[in-house]
């Protein structure tokens, strides 16, 4: 590799150009003019050679910039995939991976900040081969996209990452959707490209939302899928641009393939597979239909009516886990909305479907299961819960921030109405039954 300091320059060539070739020789005027022309050409040639060598040295010295995308893993925090920026600078040793996804579960207060939605992650720079070890052991595929950036842009990105990775700068406030490991990669690239990436990604959308992408990726883990689907509010249901969609590393990789440099050339210069994917693939997109939930809700409502007419005590016993589940989900939703920074769960209409008031039904349900009077308040509370469920359906016709929870409305609304109907006159019926017959 050429070193700029070793390239001959004008000052070093001066002694060579001031010798016999440039001296006047008495009586040889024609020879002297020829020598001057030759000397001038030699000097110009040397200067051109010097400039070419300096330019070649600068071009060789510029690092290569790549985006490494890791496929989803099987642990819950790996379900969304991952990515990192690779800087390959031959002058500074082996390629480095700049990874924004590091956190420490053993850090004091981590669990509390996780619950509050105020976690901190960190950028760590480590050799690429070392970073790949974990993904190789887990069987996760890794793909590397080399970017078509100018030497100046490559140097700017590398310098920004090196500065960001310093211990005093490495930590950042983490948000699942707007400030995660993938959006950090996106932002670094956009700044390095002088803002050329963001307008391209803002200009189009796949129609996905934070909610739809999250539940798609965690679908293989049922309880995680259920928690996400019930826990997200309308803030997470708005259509995203491809810029926002880049919170998913695989989506960012797709967008980079479609992006262009300021000069109109493809942004991705080349791609290579670093590791094959040996576990279950990323879940594919699938339409979410509400009518299967409606059929299930109507079937369960019919069963509620059938059992309630013959065995009200049995129905009360079966309703206890349902009301307990609804109450717990509702309380968690209220907590997320009122006491945490998890903005994606704020204003969640599912609170009216999975109503915290269901917990107040449990003593009455236990009483009915034992053949006792649940009290006059029991039927009134059931009606209130059913009215709340109907209100969720009415909200769909109001000009509010829409929430895509139609499947859960279709499932739970018939169930709440059927339970309210079957137990609406429970206290009156039990007050008319002789005590001796209440256990029969």
pLDDT at residue 136, rounded to an integer: 97
Q: At what angle do helices 362-369 and 376-395 cross, to 10 degrees?
A: 130
pLDDT at residue 105, rounded to an integer: 85
* 154-174 b/e (C-beta count within 10 Å ≥ 16 → b): bbbbbeebbebbeeeebebeb
Question: Pick from 115, 126, 70: which is nearest to 248 by CA?
Answer: 70
- CA angle centred on 202, ends 197 and 205, rounded to 5°: 125
pLDDT at residue 216, rounded to an integer: 97
State the pLDDT confidence band at 10, using cuts at 50, 70 and 90: very low
Q: What percent of the chain has pLDDT over 90?
A: 77
Domain ranges of the chain: 4-61, 64-205+241-275, 291-437
Of the listed ranges 10-14, 46-50, 417-421, the least confidently predicted one is 10-14
Integer Cα distance of 432 and 233 in angstroms:
45
pLDDT at residue 9, rounded to an integer: 39
Q: What is the pLDDT of residues 302-342, one digit of tens each?
A: 999 999 999 999 999 999 999 999 999 999 999 999 999 99
Task: Please determine, for residue 14, whether its predicted confidence score (pLDDT) is greater than 80.
Answer: no
Integer CA distances (angstroms), 92 to 40, 88, 156, 158, 212, in order: 40, 8, 15, 11, 43
How far is the first Cα of the chain from the last one, in angstroms, to the nearest whole number? 96
Q: What percent of the chain has pLDDT over 70?
A: 82
Contact criterion met (CB below 8 Å) for 185 and 67: yes
Which residue would you say has higher pLDDT here, 20 or 127? 127
Task: Please determine, for residue 46, whether its predicted confidence score (pLDDT) is greater than 80.
Answer: no
Task: Please determine, for residue 439, whether its predicted confidence score (pLDDT) is greater than 90.
Answer: no
pLDDT at residue 29, rounded to an integer: 44
Task: Please determine, for residue 17, whether its predicted confidence score (pLDDT) is greater than 70.
Answer: no
Task: Please determine, for residue 16, whether its predicted confidence score (pLDDT) is greater than 70.
Answer: no
Q: What is the pLDDT of residues 141-192, one digit of tens each?
A: 999 999 999 999 999 999 999 999 999 999 999 999 999 999 999 999 999 9
Q: What is the pLDDT of residues 384-430, one digit of tens each?
A: 999 999 999 999 988 888 999 999 999 999 999 999 999 987 655 55
* Dihedral of alpha carbons 397, 401, 407, 409, sign: negative
pLDDT at residue 436, rounded to an integer: 44
Integer Cα distance of 361 and 326 in angstroms:
11
Length of the chain: 440
pLDDT at residue 187, rounded to an integer: 98
Instruction: State which fold the 64-205+241-275 domain adopts.
Output: endopeptidase fold (from Nostoc punctiforme) (3.90.1720)
pLDDT at residue 340, rounded to an integer: 97
Q: What is the pLDDT of residues 250-289, one digit of tens each?
A: 999 999 999 999 999 999 999 999 999 999 999 999 999 9
Integer CA distances (angstroms), 356 to 116, 206, 385, in order: 21, 36, 9
Of the listed ranges 42-56, 99-113, 334-348, 393-407, the least confidently predicted one is 42-56
Integer CA distances (angstroms), 74 to 71, 138, 220, in order: 10, 8, 9
Look at the block and give the residue holding tokens 């945490």.
340
pTM equals 0.82
CB atoms within 10 A of CB 217: 20
Mean pLDDT of the chain: 88
Look at the block and give the residue holding tokens 């039954």.
433
Task: Please determine, for residue 87, whether its predicted confidence score (pLDDT) is greater than 90.
Answer: yes
Contact criterion met (CB below 8 Å) for 297 and 414: yes
Tokens at 403, concatenated:
């929430």
pLDDT at residue 194, rounded to an integer: 95
State the pLDDT confidence band at 31, using cuts at 50, 70 and 90: low
Tokens at 234, concatenated:
């309308």
State the pLDDT confidence band at 434, using cuts at 50, 70 and 90: very low
State the pLDDT confidence band at 376, using cuts at 50, 70 and 90: confident
Integer Cα distance of 35 and 132 in angstroms:
63
């Amino acid at each position: 590799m050429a070193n700029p300091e070793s390239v001959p320059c004008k000052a070093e060539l001066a002694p060579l150009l001031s010798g016999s070739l440039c001296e006047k020789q008495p009586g040889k005027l024609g020879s002297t003019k020829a020598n001057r022309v030759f000397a001038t050409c030699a000097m110009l040639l040397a200067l051109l050679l010097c400039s070419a060598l300096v330019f070649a040295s600068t071009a060789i010295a510029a690092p290569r910039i790549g985006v490494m995308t890791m496929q989803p893993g099987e642990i819950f925090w790996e379900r969304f995939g991952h990515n990192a920026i690779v800087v390959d600078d031959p002058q500074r040793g082996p390629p480095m991976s700049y990874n924004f996804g590091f956190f420490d579960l053993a850090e004091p207060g981590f669990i509390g900040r996780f619950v509050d939605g105020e976690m901190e992650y960190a950028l760590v720079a480590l050799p690429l081969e070392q970073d790949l070890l974990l993904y190789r052991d887990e069987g996760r595929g890794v793909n590397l996209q080399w970017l078509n950036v100018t030497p100046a842009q490559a140097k700017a990105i590398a310098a920004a990452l090196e500065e960001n990775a310093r211990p005093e700068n490495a930590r950042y406030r983490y948000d699942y959707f707007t400030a995660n490991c993938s959006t950090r990669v996106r932002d670094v690239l956009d700044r390095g490209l002088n803002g050329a990436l963001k307008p391209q990604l803002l200009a189009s959308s796949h129609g996905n939302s934070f909610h739809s992408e999250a539940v798609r990726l965690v679908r293989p883990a049922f309880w995680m899928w259920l928690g996400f689907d019930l826990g997200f509010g309308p803030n997470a249901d708005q259509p995203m641009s491809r810029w926002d969609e880049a919170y998913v590393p695989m989506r960012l990789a797709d967008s980079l393939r479609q992006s262009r440099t300021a000069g109109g050339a493809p942004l991705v210069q080349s791609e290579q597979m670093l590791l094959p994917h040996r576990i279950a693939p990323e879940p594919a997109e699938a339409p979410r239909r509400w009518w299967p939930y409606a059929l299930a809700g109507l079937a369960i409502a019919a069963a509620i009516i059938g059992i309630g007419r013959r065995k009200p005590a049995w129905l009360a016993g079966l309703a206890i886990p349902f009301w307990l589940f609804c109450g717990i989900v509702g309380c968690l939703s209220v907590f997320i909305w009122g006491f945490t920074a998890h903005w994606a769960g704020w204003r969640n209409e599912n609170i009216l479907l999975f109503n915290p008031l269901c917990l107040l039904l449990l003593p009455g349900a236990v009483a009915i299961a034992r053949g006792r009077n649940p009290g006059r308040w029991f039927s009134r509370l059931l009606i209130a819960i059913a009215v709340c469920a109907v209100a969720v359906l009415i909200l769909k016709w109001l000009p509010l921030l829409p929430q895509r929870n139609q499947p859960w409305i279709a499932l739970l609304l018939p169930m709440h109405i059927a339970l309210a109907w079957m137990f609406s006159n429970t206290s009156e019926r039990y007050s008319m039954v002789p005590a001796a017959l209440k256990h029969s």
